[in-house]
Chain A
C-alpha cells in the first residue's frame, strides 16, 4: 500500500500538467485599463509596465510603460485581440486603476462591469475613476514613472489630505451598483495641457510639464448613469457626510474678503434616520486646527477661539445642507444612500413609503446637522503677527 502511494504521489504531480503555470517573463503586467466609446464600439487602452526599463541602463530611452489600444464590440474580444500586438499575455491581476470614460459612464456602465467582475484573474481592489478626457493613459508622468501609479497616489493623497475625491474600489462600486437604494459617486480625472506634448518623452525633461493628469471632483450617477459633477465644496460636503474624510479644509468667511482657514483632522460623521418623521440627523465630531488667519482677531483669548469654533461649525452645517439640497435639486440622485438608511432603520415602514420615495419623500427629507468640531490647535503663533 505504502509503495503504491509512493508511486502515485509523484505521478499526481506530473499529471496536473503545471496547472496555471506562467513564468513571470511571459506576462505583460497591466497597471491600468481605460475604457471608452468609439462609434458604438468599445475602445480600450491597456497600460502595460515595461520591466526592461528598470533593469538596465542601456534601455534608458525606452518608455516606462507601453499602451495598447484596440476597438471592438465586446470587451473580451477586445482584450484577447490585443495579443496580436503584444508579445506577452495580458495579465490584469495587478491592475491598479480602471478609468471609465465619460461617455461609457453615461450609457454603458452595466456592460463593462459584468466583464470585469466575471474575470477570476482580476483582483477587485483597484480604484475606479471617471475620465473627462480621452487617451489619458498616454501621458507621461514625472515623479512616479508609471502614470497609473501616479494617479493612484494622488488620489490617495487627495483622499487623505483634501477630501474632494474619495477612493472607490471596484468592490465598493459593485456593492453600490447592486444595491439600487444607493446611487453611485465616482472620483474623476481630467487632462491639463496638451496631450500631444504630454505623451512625448521630452515632456519629462522640463521641471514643469506641459501636460499632466489632475484630479477633478466627484461624479454623480442616477440609476447608474453619469449625470454630472459636483463642485469642490459639494465634494467636500459629500465626503464629510459619508465619513470618507480624514483631513480637509474649511474656510470661515468674514466681511471684506477676510478669512480664517481651518483644517479638520480626524472628523467622524454618523447618520441617524427617523423615517416616520422623515428626518435625518447628521452629527459630526472631531478636531480642527487653525492654519491660516487673515482676520483681525486675538486668538490668545479663549472666547475668541470659541467664536471661531462656533463659526466653523456653522460653516460646516451650512456646507452640508447646501450640498444635500443642491444634489437633490440638480441631479435628484441619492448618492448618500438615504433610502438604504431608511430601509435599514425601519424596514416595515419603508415598505409603505417605497413607491413614493422618488417622487415625494426624498425631496422633502428634513436634514438636521449637528456639527461638534473642536479647535484644538492654533499653530505656532497665538495671535496675529501684527496686532492692529
Chain B
C-alpha cells in the first residue's frame, strides 16, 4: 500500500503533475490497484475494452487466487511486460503502455495500449520512378519494418536495436542480412551509433551527420531514401540500413560513387537500354561539373582551342556584354540557385509565377539588356539540367561546390587550372571512404563483378557474383542453370 502511494507521489512530483498522465484507482478482488497511462499516447478504447473489462471479469471470477497471476492469465491485452522498478514505469509510460500497480505486490505490469498515430502508407514523394513499387516509408517504425519484412522473408534479416537521445529516446535500428553483409561494417556502424550521446534525435538526418566521418567531403557517403524497394535491394547487395523511429526515411550505407548513378527503374529495363542511360548519367555528371569552367577557360585563356566559326560566334555574342566571363557565369549560376531554392520551398501554386520570372526575366530580358550573352544562358541551362538528373540532393549540392572551384580555377589559369583542379578532384574522390568502403569502388579498387553493373549494365544473366568489397563472394548472387 505504502509502496504504490510512494510511486504515485514520486511520479506526480517528477512530472510536475501534468494533466495528460492519468491515474485511476480501482478495487479488484478486494485489492486496490492503480492504473497509470499517458492519455495522448494511449487509445482510451483499448483501455476500456481490454483492461477495465478484463479486470471486472477477474473481479467476478477469481475471488481467492493470487491477483497478479490472475491478471497475467486472464487479461485480454495481448502484449504485457512485468516490471520491477520506478525507472521502467516511467519508460513504459512514455511508450504508451498502461501500468498496473497492485496493492502489496512489488511486480508491476505494463500493458500495451498504444494509440495509432501514424499516417497510412502513401506513394513516394521525393523519389519518383517510372516503374517500381509505389509504397514509401511512414513515420511508424513497425510499419516500415513490415514493409521490408514483406519483401525479405528470411530469418537472416537481422536487426540491432539502439535507443538514442536523452529526451527523445528514439529507436534506431540497424538492419542487415546475416550472411551477405560483412560483419566489419555492422560492427563499425554499431560502434558509431553507441557513441552518440545527444539530447534528441528527431530525424535520421541527425544520425547521418553524426556517424558520417567524412564531413569534409561534399559528396554523400550515406544515401537517404524513402523507398522500401530500394532499401530491400540494398540489403540484398550486402549493405546496411539504418531506420529511425518517427522518420519516414532510411539510411543506406556504405555508399560508393556508382550507387549515386543507379535508379530504381533500372531493374525494369533491358540492360542494353539502361547501359545507354547510365552513360548519359555519367556524362551529365561531368557536364554539370565542368561546362561553365570550360566555357570560361576557352573564352578567356584558350581561345585557340575553338573552331574559328564557333569563336567568331562566341565573340559576337559576347561583344555587348560588359562583364568578364567569370563574373557573368557567377551571376547566372547564383540566379539559378536562388530559383531552385525558391522552387523547393514555395507551395506548388506559386511556382508558375516563378517559372515566368525565371524564363522571361533571367533568360530573355537579361540577354536583350546586354547583361549576359545567349551562350551563357545555354551554358547555365545545360549545367543546371544535368545536375537535376540526380534524385539525391546531396550530390547536386556537392557538384555545386566543385563547379565553383573549377570556375575559379579556370578564371585564373584557363584549361591548365581546370586540369589541375580535376586531378585534385579525382585524388579527393579516391581518398574518400564510406565506412571503410572506398568511394570509387568498383573502379578503384577494381572489381570485375562490381563493374558489370556500373557504367554499363551487363545482362542480368551475367550478374552472377556479389560485389567483393560488400559481401562474401563464396556465395553466388544467382546460380546459372
Contact = CB atoms under 8 A, between A and B. Distances in A.
Interface of A: 13-14, 16, 18-25, 27, 29, 31, 49, 51-56, 91, 93-94, 96, 121, 123, 146, 149
A55 B320 contact: yes
B299 A13 contact: no
A66 to B, nearest CB: 13
11 contacts: A13-B408, A20-B301, A21-B301, A22-B300, A23-B299, A27-B303, A27-B315, A31-B308, A54-B313, A94-B304, A123-B304
A19 B302 CA distance: 11
A55 B316 contact: yes
Contacts of A21: 300-301, 414
Contact of A13 (B303, B315, B413): B413
Given A13-B408, A94-B311, A24 B304 contact: no
B308 A94 contact: yes
Given A29-B303, A29-B311, A146-B312, 10 more contacts: A13-B408, A13-B412, A13-B413, A16-B412, A24-B299, A49-B312, A49-B315, A56-B320, A91-B303, A93-B303
B413 A55 contact: no
Interface string B405-424: 00011011110010000000
A229 to B, nearest CB: 29
B366 to A, nearest CB: 15
B38 to A, nearest CB: 52
B237 interface: no
Nearest to A64: B312
Contacts, number: 77
B391 interface: no
Interface in B277-311: 299-301, 303-304, 306, 308-309, 311
A24 B313 contact: no
B324 interface: yes
B300 A29 contact: no
B13 to A, nearest CB: 53
Contacts of A53: 316
A91 B312 CA distance: 12
A96 B308 CA distance: 8
Contacts of A123: 304
A25 B321 contact: yes
B309 to A, nearest CB: 8
Nearest to A50: B316
- Please give me the 10 A-B residue pairs with the lowest Cβ-Cβ distance, nearest first: A93-B304, A54-B316, A51-B316, A51-B315, A55-B316, A51-B319, A13-B412, A24-B299, A94-B308, A24-B318
A56 B321 CA distance: 13
For A31, A93, A96, the residue with the greatest tally of chain B CB atoms inside 10 Å of its CB is: A93
A356 to B, nearest CB: 47
A94 B305 CA distance: 9
A277 to B, nearest CB: 49
Contacts of B311: 24, 29, 94
B325 A24 contact: yes
A146 B309 CA distance: 10
B409 A29 contact: no
Contacts of B336: none
For A19, A27, A29, A94, the residue with the greatest tally of chain B CB atoms inside 10 Å of its CB is: A94
A14 B313 CA distance: 31
